[in-house]
Structure 1
Amino acid sequence: MELVYYKGLQDEPYTTNEVIAEYTGIKYKSVYEAIRNNITDIEDFGVLPFEMVKPTQGNGGRPKKIYHLNEQQATFLITLLDNTPKVKEFKKLLVKSFYQIKSELDERKIHRQVNKVVNISFGDVIKAHYPASKYAYSNYHRLAYKYALGVTPKQIKEQRHTDDPQSALTSDESERLERTKQQIALFIQDGNDYQAIKTKLFADI
């Protein structure tokens, strides 16, 4: 179980009451009640969203309410729990995890901006060479993903549960995709068609 999650580049990282219970050794019900009893104070640090999650084992059981707590909300909640050695250790792990996730998100945002510039060039090259084609961009876009990452944008959406495959990429994946798009743009400018470019890309694999 991860300590901190996020859904997209523009979304705030969060942890959950389930994570807090798991890592502190405190009963889920106790953590849940601590939130319910102090929800007004917790919401001073922002809106407190939640999701209803069905039990993973078996067919019975009631869905659980899983709260998504941002860093300030989680930090405040932990101050309300018993300050055991396990809780202290979790505090340190949680602070580190939030920092790491935020750093990764910042890096991804930078790559996203770089990719926007690259995509303008990539898109302009395709538009200039295939002015009448409705599908040229989507075909080359999909080819770039397939070569750089081994999957299509649609598969990334399904695997990573996102509507925006670009935002779900790691920094390394974004760099590989960027280089591939630049390579494809150069191939197009050299007069290669789709099949020739595909053959050249996958020739060394």
Structure 2
Amino acid sequence: MDLVTLTSQRLDAEPYTTAEIISKYAEIDPRTVNNRINQYKFDLLEFGALEFSTIKTLNPNGGRPRKIWRLNEEQAMLLITYLDNTKPVRQFKKALIKQFTAMKRALIERQAKFELGKEFSKSLHDAIKESPALGEHNHLYINVNKLVYKQALGVSTKELRKVRGISVNDTITNYLSPSEADAVRKVKSQITALLDMKLNYQQIKAALQVQGIVYQIRLTLPAKAASH
């Protein structure tokens, strides 16, 4: 069961749970959970803003949209202390702690890979800048960047941005898993070495194609996007 979600796919995302999840898995009436949130609102606000999303009611006769509270780790743990200490609540709390801990560890690993990758990116940038091929190829920086992801992950930068909702002003490396970051770093290192050998773009591309894709990933469009 997924008790914890991330606010986005970025490596600086924040993990959270919802009032609905607490209600379902702690076996507490949703109105009770929401009442506790409203009752202790100012306590919860000490640990961050109280975020929420709204969903339309399924009532065919209409009705007000439902508010779904989102709680960060501290808010969720505090709220649970204000609930009755039943067996389902205790079991849920243990499971929630484990998932928050696992999610934070995964984010820390991604952040560490991101920081490590900065040096490889800098080395690649410097190698492109010093390459004789730069004078022959007006778009060497752009094409090398595209080649990195195609050879590392088997997908184009355009596809990756579309599926993961990455804007053109954002950095793709902010959205990579540790395994994906490792593959990207490996290809960047290889291209840097090939540029240092004075190979041009086509020669580098041919050399990389011999080894194949380092870490093939599959991209699945969100349901709404896939239906168009």
TM-score interval w.r.t. the shorter chain?
0.7 to 0.9
Does the alignment pair 1:74 with 2:81?
no
**Aligned in 2, Cα 1:132/1:29: closer, same or farther, shift over 3 Å?**
farther
1:183 to partner: Cα distance:
0.7
Return the match for 1:183 from 190, 193, 217: 190
Matched, 1:195 2:202: yes
| Percent identity for Structure 1 against Structure 2 | 37
How many residues are paired up?
203
1:197 positional shift: 2.2
Matches within 5 A, 1:1-205: 2-6=2-6, 7=8, 8-54=10-56, 63-129=65-131, 130=134, 135-163=139-167, 164-205=171-212
**Any runs of at least 4 consecutive aligned residues in structure 1 with deviations exceeding 6 A, and if so which?**
none
Q: What letter matches 1:178 in structure 2?
A: R
| 1:162 CA drift (Å) | 4.4
- Alignment RMSD: 2.6
Structure 1 residue runs of 5 or longer lacking an equivalent are none
What is the TM-score when the length of structure 1 is the normalising length? 0.84
Please list the CA deviations of residues 62-101 of structure 1 after superposition, one character each: whole Å capped at 9, or x if unmatched. Answer: 5432322111100011122232222211111111111111
Instruction: Write the distance in 2 (CA, Å) between the matches of 1:170 and 1:40.
Output: 36
Q: Which moved more, 1:36-45 or 1:127-136?
A: 127-136
Answer with 167-176 or 114-123: which moved more.
167-176
- Where does the alignment leave 5 or more consecutive residues of structure 2 unmatched? 213-228
